Structures are given as C-alpha cells and as structure tokens.
C-alpha cells in the first residue's frame, strides 16, 4: 500500500506542468543572476534545487519530489513538509529589489472532511520584516491548482542597499486529515516556483 500510494504521488508530481501565465512587471528588470545557496527541509531532496532567470525578468526555482501525504500507510510525519530556499541575488550596484509575487501550481487530492494548506514566507537575511502567503484547500477535492502570493507596492520589503544578503523563501505543505479516517490525501507542489521582483534605485 505505501509503495503504491507513494508511486501515485510521485507520478502526479512528475506529470504536472506549471500553467500560470507570467505576470508583467511595471518596470523592466536589470540584468541579474540568481543562485540557490541552500535548500533545506523535509520537502527538499538533497541537491535537487536550482534557479534561473527567465526572459521576462522573473526567476524560477526548480526542484523535485515535493509533496505532503497522509492516510493509509503514509508515515505519520509526512502530513507536513517544508522547504526553505536561501537565494543569492546578484545585481548591479545602486539598485535593490523586493519580492513582488510568487506563483505556485500543483495537485491536491482531499477526501471529505480533510483540508490542506500551501504557504510561504519571504524575508531578507538580517532583516526582521517578513511577508507571507497562505492558500487553503477543503475536501472533497481532486484537481490541479494555481496560486499566487502578490504584494502591493506599499507592502513590498526591499533588501538593504549596499549589502549582499540572501533572500529566504520558506515554503510549507500541510494536510489536516478527516478525524478518525485513514483515507489517502495528498498535496503536491509542482516542480518549480516562479518569483517576480520589483526593483528601485537606492537613495
């Protein structure tokens, strides 16, 4: 049972293809580069995360095997999985950036009475301000999903000018099974996260 259920989740994860249309930026991004310094957590297989800048100025974090599952013979701790990405953003001097939006897609399978949460927190190394987003799914449900955390200009948190700091994105998948039931539930995050940045000149 555990092998077949796990194979189902893995098959769904591999088959998914992100379908969210790219967002347009109010200002064209400068030339910059992004690198995954670390990716830690129960949802991150070791050394599987990479990042790349896209032609539209956004960047994508690629990974594999990120899902939470419960019921049947799923391990008791697998109802929650997380992954924290520490990213190095290299850009020209005199400008800085903030997270404008982050887009996610995946698949959710929930029985009646079960629920799931896909959540993320965003913050710069050495800064206390944190942005967060959370999306809740309620069973019965079996479908692909597209979600986005979008931050208005008034709420965007820019990295400190003149200091090289890491951008941290801490993601989480969490299931709450129906009480007393052992039915199979799953929440799968597609193989990538796409992040749009806002840019401005330093004062």
Q: Which residues of 177-190 are buried (b: 16+ CB within 10 A; e: fewer)?
A: bbeeeebbbbbbbb
Q: Is 96 a domain residue?
A: yes
> CB under 8 Å to 80, separation ≥6 — which residues?
42, 68, 172, 173, 174, 175
pLDDT tens-digit series, residues 83-103: 999 999 999 999 999 999 999
Q: Structure pTM?
A: 0.85
Query: CATH number of the domain that 59 lies in?
Result: 2.60.120
The answer for residues whose C-beta is within 8 angstroms of residue 118's C-beta and 6 or more apart is 104, 106, 134, 135, 137, 145, 147, 171, 172, 173, 187, 189
Q: How many domains does the chain have?
A: 1
Q: pLDDT value at position 16? A: 45
Q: Residue 67 sits in which domain range?
A: 2-19+30-201
2 and 73 in contact (C-beta within 8 Å)? yes
Identify whether 137 is part of a domain.
yes
Low-confidence stretches of the chain (pLDDT beneath 50): 1-3, 5, 10-11, 13-27
Helix, strand and coil in the chain, % to nearest 5: 10, 50, 40
* DSSP symbol at 163: S
**154, part of any domain:** yes
Helix spans in 39-171 (H)? none
Q: Is residue 24 part of a domain?
A: no
On the CB side of 35, CA atoms within 13 Å amount to 7
**Sheet-wide strand order for 33-40:** 33-40, 80-90, 166-176, 115-124, 131-138
């Amino acid at each position: 049972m555990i092998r077949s259920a796990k194979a189902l989740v893995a098959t769904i994860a591999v088959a998914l293809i992100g379908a969210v249309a790219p967002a347009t930026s109010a200002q064209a991004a400068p030339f910059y580069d992004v690198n995954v310094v670390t990716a830690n957590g129960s949802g991150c297989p070791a050394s599987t995360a990479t990042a790349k800048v896209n032609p539209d100025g956004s960047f994508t974090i690629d990974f594999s095997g990120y899902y939470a599952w419960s019921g049947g013979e799923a391990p008791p701790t697998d109802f929650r999985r997380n992954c924290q990405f520490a990213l190095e953003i290299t850009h020209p001097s005199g400008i800085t950036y903030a997270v404008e939006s982050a887009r996610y897609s995946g698949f959710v399978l929930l029985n009646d009475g079960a629920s799931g949460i896909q959540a993320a927190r965003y913050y710069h190394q050495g800064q206390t301000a944190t942005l967060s987003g959370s999306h809740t799914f309620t069973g019965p449900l079996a479908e692909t999903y597209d979600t986005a955390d979008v931050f208005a200009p008034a709420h965007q948190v820019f990295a400190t000018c003149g200091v090289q700091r890491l951008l941290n994105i801490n993601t989480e998948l969490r299931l709450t099974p129906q009480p007393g039931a052992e039915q199979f539930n799953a929440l799968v995050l597609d193989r990538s996260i796409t992040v749009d940045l806002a840019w401005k000149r330093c004062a």
